[in-house]
Structure 1
Amino acid sequence: MRVDVLGVGFDNVTMVEAVDAAAELLRADGAHYVVTPNPEIVEVCREQPQAMAAVNGADLVLPDGVGVVKGAAMLGTPLKEKTPGIEFAGHLMERMASEGKSLYLLGAKPGVAEEAGRRLTARYPGLKLAGTHDGYFQDDGPVVEDIRRSGADCVFVCLGAPKQELWMAKNGAATGARLLCGLGGSLDVFAGRVERAPEFWSKHGLEWFYRLCKEPRRIGRMMKLPLFLVHVKQEKGRRK
């Protein structure tokens, strides 16, 4: 049973349970996809019904960040813990490496996915890199065909929200991959282009503030966090 936070249904799982569930999806027939919404994406879903449908249609919906966890608690339906997408991806790649699974990286600027692939295969011996493609394309067809030909078991789709969620919902089955994961800007981190917040900031739920200090241009996007909390309070009042 999912926990409803402003219309988005989150799976109430720990990180270990999330990775176990993803590993099962990798072994199951058909295509499946994972999304990792944060408060900003929840607000986008409230504004865009297609995005809401794509997010809620995922096989796993994981709370990326403390904001969603706090929101769920305020609504009286607490989630077990936050499961940040980039950390989920790391644990999943460990599992995939141990099983000899292959990964395709899609997104970011030209050259970033290739560099991320080199670093990831060095970090996770046994992980196979099926292929890469940047996020600067107009036609889905050739990209989908390239993934299908690669035989990838899993695809990290890093196109930004809600584009990546819509892309996975539309094209997932055609790629031939068992699992697709929407992971935003993770490829820039994996490639060493962007630094993650230090552990202190992450532990105290301030990773968003660290990123804002590093990238002040994100202020417009960050303003969705207080808006999210306002909407949570309004929803709490309606539920009483």
Structure 2
Amino acid sequence: MKKETYFGVDVSPLNYEEIIVDLQKRMERNEKSTIIAVNPEKVIKAEENEELKQLINSSTYQIPDGIGILLASKLKGGSISSRVTGVDMMDRLLQFAAQSGYKVFLYGAKEEVVVKAKQNIEAKYPNINISGYENGYVQDVNLVLDKINQAQADLLFVAMGSPKQELWIKENMNKTNVRVFQGVGGSFDVFAGQVKRAPLFFRKFGIEWLYRLLKEPKRLKRQLALPKFLMRVLFSK
């Protein structure tokens, strides 16, 4: 897979279906795979933080979560054709696990959130096997790892916020038999019904950022990363 690079940060050009196909081949070869979401804000942070940059670039799939990455690819004649959001990628993987018989483990968030997310996912995908879960407030890492291994999980979703969740995955992935790891931020809150996503209109046109800004004007400073990133891309060689 030939990746695109923006200011030293790699981005995978694959869409949801292509990732699933590639992932299944890697799972059949018993290879471990990691998924990390990339947006303009994270690219700018990674440019100033070498550890974060290495963390992103060492992942198997750097999904183009932000509309800014898609626009940057178009500006530079790249091959990224669509956004791949973290929460939708998780949903596609859950569907894939349900269809293929793979076991899933949910780790992170508050107890009531992860329990409700599990219940809602099982209602949506009756055939899914969520073989275990743990909230994000357990201090003993070995206890969590033992629980993951006892559950014989194939896919692990970690909801701790970025980059904490990706650092956790990097430090502990080889201590488990899990083959697919995704840091999913606040996705458990979405599946639990605690947080509502932007209406379909905003999601369809890649302007969820505008919806969030309208609801939370204090996010303006963060959202300025998008025009700053695109201007730099436009004038970069």
TM-score under structure 1 length normalisation:
0.90
Say which structure, 1 or 2, has more relative contact order (CA 8 Å, 6+ apart).
1
Using the alignment, how far apart are the partners of 1:196 and 1:217 within structure 2? 18
**Structure 2: unaligned runs, 5 residues or longer:** none
Structure 2 matches for 1:2-81, cutoff 5 A? 2-81=3-82
Q: Match for residue 210 of structure 2?
A: 209
1:210 Cα deviation after fit: 1.0
TM-score under structure 2 length normalisation:
0.91
SS of 1:36 mapped into structure 2: strand
Identical residues among aligned pairs (%): 33
Using the alignment, how far apart are the partners of 1:231 and 1:15 within structure 2? 28
Using the alignment, how far apart are the partners of 1:125 and 1:204 within structure 2? 31
Using the alignment, how far apart are the partners of 1:75 and 1:82 within structure 2? 16
The structure 1 segments of at least 4 consecutive aligned residues displaced by more than 4 Å after TM superposition are: none
SS of 1:113 mapped into structure 2: helix
SS of 2:65 mapped into structure 1: coil
Q: Match for residue 185 of structure 2?
A: 184
CA offsets, 1:197-232, max 9 Å, x none? 111111222111112233344344333223322432
CA offsets, 1:85-106, max 9 Å, x none? 2112212211210112111111
SS of 1:197 mapped into structure 2: coil
Compared with structure 1, are the counterparts of its residues 135 and 48 closer, same or farther at alpha carbon in structure 2 (3 Å cutoff)? farther
CA offsets, 1:14-40, max 9 Å, x none? 221122222333333143211121222
- Note the aligned Cα RMSD (angstroms): 1.9
SS of 1:208 mapped into structure 2: helix
Output the amino acid matched with 2:68. Answer: G
Compared with structure 1, are the counterparts of its residues 128 and 57 closer, same or farther at alpha carbon in structure 2 (3 Å cutoff)? same
**Structure 1: unaligned runs, 5 residues or longer:** none
Q: Contact between 1:107 and 1:135, CA under 8 Å: does it hold in 2? A: yes
Using the alignment, how far apart are the partners of 1:126 and 1:66 within structure 2? 33
Q: Match for residue 89 of structure 2?
A: 88
